[in-house]
Structure 1
């Protein structure tokens, strides 16, 4: 009897330790997505670059994560969850060290790509470890615990980044990952169960390559600008790559993403709506710290603190999603809420020297509140109609689109500020026009959600899909 109780207690300790390991990995990944933004002006000054040119530092990370996320599940099945998760943390830590020691922008971009390789596996493989080692009746609660890291990371990221830049140097926003990562590596070896590798179907490297080529060339085309002679060629390559995937997926027995995914109407509509709506939302965390520091004269720490209302309001808003969607339906809720998100983004154009702090906090809180509910509702409506067979690949494709949209938002938002600055010769109105444009893009995306059906909300799926809301 004593032996049995000891075994149960030991298993409970191992499960709790594993949850903390996954929590820490997700926290590092979520933190690193936001902590960099506040430090961009200081990083640009240190590297001798223009602040807007550092958008490639953000895009390199998010785009790498988008490209490699679909392969993470296959790697975990092929080589074992424990081995892949250990490798993910190790790569992420090495990438962080290289970021901190970079002396030029190209070096920093390459290091961010390395970070993105590790980061692309932290969440999906960690979630898979939870699924395989936590009993079914405890899985929802365990996933909810892990998802808190996705909320705490963005909450602490901007302020922590501003404080480190102001009191130490921008290098420390990457170096803080090292002790956390080293503890994580030791904990993985100690507590994460050893699972055997499995015989899996060959990975669709050709399909992954075609979609990667599509996303990379399209992002490069936007980065090059409309006046670049390379833009048209890059757009053409992007379009051809996407079109070539269709016959490839039809011929292959197990393609990266089955074409049957798009027969579910809400998945297709939700995917497109997510892409366009998140472009505006993705530009905000990049543009606001630049506006606060370069135009309004705030310190990095003050700038980071001003972003706290977005994260706090977003956390408080989650509980309102279910009753509001049940009352208005998905189509009605997303139509109205998307308009609120778009208008709140456009309202940031009014921020100028002397703008009341209380009004700024109100604007940021409204955006955070509406944006958080937007993500939760969009995630649920996009994924909830998929069959069990298509759920895994649909979730991977959805994650790719989310990360791609963040990268596009940064690229387009930064590009608009650069374009308007050149045209007008002054930076201040350029930021105003950029926010107005991104707000308009978000408002127009509301029209996409009019094609959704109005089936009831499924609250039992909120926790699992909330993990993907970042």
Structure 2
């Protein structure tokens, strides 16, 4: 723990970071519930509203690579304060947007704040607490933040049905004011040691950012943009070429944005790749489920919001039991089994129809929420837990990029699949729309299950607490 962080700050810091998690989670869950109403207000199809989600996610993913360097250069207090302020201003602009285009632009402003808010908060936790407490502190930080998903769907549905969708953004502003005040008073001002700052890798930033944008636009081209397949392939190949250019650049650059040596830490390499592929499926679910309830099953916004409560409630429970489960089973067994179970649960949503009993639907969502939450907690901690202090900033930034990028790609892929299945019908009826959702759930479930093979590469004892007597000179928990 840093010397300048007193006991009071050590107690309050997780709550300050949790405010950032709360704002992002509240924004995302309210937004997903409100998408059909927003589409009607803006004269758009609800199946083409993914650009509102992707614009934010892609902006965050694009700018996160600079978050670690910015925090080291200007200090965590100033950067975290500015991030919450930008996010709050972006929310105000979203509430004033008269068209889909201006709403997307306002979401980009929100993304400027989001790109620094959660990554810098996680970086502070990573640097301020010992590795042995990482699972405990990260779980605590995300637990208060889960209040956002708990109240978000219901609040969003109620606001849309009885007020207007504009209020789903305005509600962020008072939370942002509290966050700014707490940050300025209590956030420790952590930064790189004198003489340790390197020059910002602008060339690497351009290569990496171009790769993310081109690949995301290529997937979006299959959906909302309706680009010809030749153009999609051209964008995809250009994106992969930029990614290869970054890899070669980082190999010979002394201070790249993301050091290739990060992947010499085995658990980090497995965690990053596992996050990328697992979130392609699970990241699309918050986008698909509210659409299924309102478009596929014709639920009202308020009922759809109430229906999503079990997902957040069970997720909070899963956060509380994550540490003992990891210590008992280890990361390899837990993540491999949990990934397969998560994919099966996504596929099982293809059985939901208007004949499904409402209590069974709530139970289905609760089980999914718990398994999904356990997946995120275990993936994030196994990725970061073995990083050295030298690699903490760069490694944390890359994890944040992968998290945002994979969710963005997952939403784009799910939207393209849903639109593709629905477009097979000239004028799809309600049962045909529901069948399109079913096929999409099957596809995203299979995508998520593919990550199980990656988690199998973890050491069998990774994360386990030893129960046998350790060899002389080795203390229990040295591997944590």
What residue in structure 1 maps to residue 262 of structure 2?
Answer: 261
> Of 32, 43, 48, which aligns to 1:48?
43
Q: Distance in 2 between matches of 1:388 and 1:362?
A: 42
Report the alpha carbon displacement of residue 238 of structure 1 after superposing the two structures with TM: 0.6
What residue in structure 1 maps to residue 206 of structure 2?
Answer: 209
Residues 322 and 457 of structure 1 are in contact (CA less than 8 Å); yes or no, is this contact kept in structure 2? no
What residue in structure 2 maps to residue 218 of structure 1?
Answer: 215
Q: Distance in 1 between matches of 2:87 and 2:451?
A: 35
Q: Distance in 2 between matches of 1:434 and 1:133?
A: 42
Give yes or no for the alignment of 1:433 onto 2:439: yes
SS in 2 for 1:423: coil
> Of 455, 461, 469, which aligns to 2:461?
455
When residues 335 and 135 of structure 1 are mapped into structure 2, their CA distance, relative to the original with a 3 A threshold, is closer
Report the alpha carbon displacement of residue 378 of structure 1 after superposing the two structures with TM: 2.1
Report the alpha carbon displacement of residue 306 of structure 1 after superposing the two structures with TM: 1.1
What residue in structure 2 maps to residue 155 of structure 1?
Answer: 150
Give yes or no for the alignment of 1:75 onto 2:70: yes
Residues 322 and 459 of structure 1 are in contact (CA less than 8 Å); yes or no, is this contact kept in structure 2? no
Unaligned runs of 5+ in 2: 1-5, 467-480
Q: Distance in 1 between matches of 2:98 and 2:145?
A: 30
Report the alpha carbon displacement of residue 211 of structure 1 after superposing the two structures with TM: 1.2
Greater displacement, 314-323 / 15-24: 15-24
SS in 2 for 1:32: helix
Q: Normalization by structure 2: what TM-score? A: 0.85
Q: Distance in 2 between matches of 1:216 and 1:326?
A: 39
When residues 135 and 443 of structure 1 are mapped into structure 2, their CA distance, relative to the original with a 3 A threshold, is closer
What residue in structure 2 maps to residue 6 of structure 1?
Answer: none
SS in 1 for 2:200: coil
What residue in structure 1 maps to residue 102 of structure 2?
Answer: 107
Instruction: Give the CA RMSD over aligned residues.
Output: 2.9
Q: Distance in 2 between matches of 1:295 and 1:41?
A: 11
When residues 268 and 12 of structure 1 are mapped into structure 2, their CA distance, relative to the original with a 3 A threshold, is closer
SS in 1 for 2:355: coil
Q: Distance in 2 between matches of 1:384 and 1:16?
A: 21
Higher helix proportion: 1
Give yes or no for the alignment of 1:184 onto 2:179: yes
Q: Aligned ranges for residues 312-461 of structure 1 at < 5 Å?
A: 312-425=313-426, 426=428, 427-457=433-463
What residue in structure 1 maps to residue 283 of structure 2?
Answer: 282
What residue in structure 1 maps to residue 253 of structure 2?
Answer: 252
Deviation string, structure 1 residues 162-182 (Cα, Å, up to 9, x no partner): 111111110001011122223
What residue in structure 2 maps to residue 298 of structure 1?
Answer: 299
Greater displacement, 71-80 / 52-61: 71-80
Greater displacement, 213-222 / 451-460: 451-460
Deviation string, structure 1 residues 88-132 (Cα, Å, up to 9, x no partner): 122111111110111111111111111011112122333555678
Unaligned runs of 5+ in 1: 1-10, 461-470
> Of 65, 79, 84, which aligns to 1:89?
84
Q: Distance in 2 between matches of 1:193 and 1:382?
A: 24
SS in 2 for 1:447: helix
Q: Distance in 2 between matches of 1:97 and 1:207?
A: 33
Deviation string, structure 1 residues 227-259 (Cα, Å, up to 9, x no partner): 433211111111111111122112211111111
